[in-house]
Amino acid sequence: MDIDFGLVERIAEGPQWVYWWTRVIDTSNWALLLFVYFDRRARWAFLAWIFNIIVILTIYNMFGYVRLLGLAHILAWTPLLPYLLYHRRPFMEENWTGRYLYWFMAVITISLVFDYIDVVRYFLGQTHF
């Protein structure tokens, strides 16, 4: 399989808000590295990120820059979000890791809304962005 890592460049060719939103997602994922040593929840989120990368690159290399890419987030974050919600504590009782995970949950929730819409649109025949 010839792997093409040009996905970020393809995203940058589209609307700027999409590009910057994906930068927020990526930065939020990278920030998990600050917390994986201290918190099991952060480790699960980090593993979901690794899974995401593998699935996104696989879909991208098989189908190109299509709406189906949102499936990676759906597969990784749909089960992760309830897990994080169940294991959260009240915000003021959380440590820095837990407070960060509140941010992370907000980011993946917003992303999942877009992802579910994109995947439905893909299966309705609107395959490309």
Domain chopping of the chain, boundaries: 7-123
CA dihedral 15, 20, 25, 29 (to 10 degrees): 140
- Torsion angles phi and psi, residue 14, rounded to 5: -90, -160
Q: Residue 5: what pLDDT?
A: 63
Q: Residue 54: what pLDDT?
A: 96
Sign, Cα dihedral of 99, 101, 103, 109: negative
Q: Residue 62: what pLDDT?
A: 95
pTM attached to this predicted model = 0.92
Find out whether 85 and 109 touch, Cβ atoms under 8 Å.
no
Helical H runs in 70-95? 70-86
Percentage of the residues of the chain whose pLDDT score is greater than 90: 93
Q: Residue 97: what pLDDT?
A: 96
Q: Residue 4: what pLDDT?
A: 60
pLDDT in tens, 44-92: 999 999 999 999 999 999 999 999 999 999 999 999 999 999 999 999 9
Q: Is the pLDDT of residue 20 over 60?
A: yes
Q: Residue 43: what pLDDT?
A: 98
Q: Is the pLDDT of residue 1 over 70?
A: no
Q: Residue 2: what pLDDT?
A: 53
Residue 41 pLDDT level (bands cut at 50, 70, 90) = very high
* 102 Cβ contact partners less than 8 Å away, ≥ 6 residues apart: 88, 91, 94
- Torsion angles phi and psi, residue 38, rounded to 5: -100, -15
